[in-house]
Amino acid sequence: MTGRNLVSRPSRLAGEEGVAFVVPEDPGDFDLPGLRLWLRTRLQPAQRPVRYVVLESLPLNANGKIDRRRLVLLASSPYQERGVQP
């Protein structure tokens, strides 16, 4: 992966839930089930993302930093597991 970030969004059941944003080096060879399995072996259940959004690049703000506000908006928008564009 060339980029990754995690934001939380409101959840009706749990208060907040994690949404992972990933930028794979090779989108055609990205293994989402493999990433989930890898995280399952390293994170406690409450720490694991419940949703994954694959992006071509992470959105940046005017200062060149990751635009977390934009990620929160993406996390709140109708969800697609692959192909959400910033």
Q: What is the pLDDT of residues 72-81, one digit of tens each?
A: 888 877 655 4
CATH class, range 3-76 = alpha beta
| pLDDT tens digit sequence for 12-62 | 555 567 888 888 888 888 888 998 998 899 888 888 888 888 888 889 999
pTM of the model: 0.69
46-57: burial string, b at 16+ Cβ within 10 Å, e else: eeebeebbbbee
Domain spans of the chain? 3-76
Residue 6: pLDDT above 60?
no
**Res 73: pLDDT:** 84
Q: In this structure, what token pair is assigned to residue 30?
A: 């990205």
Phi, psi of 73 (to 5 degrees): -65, -45
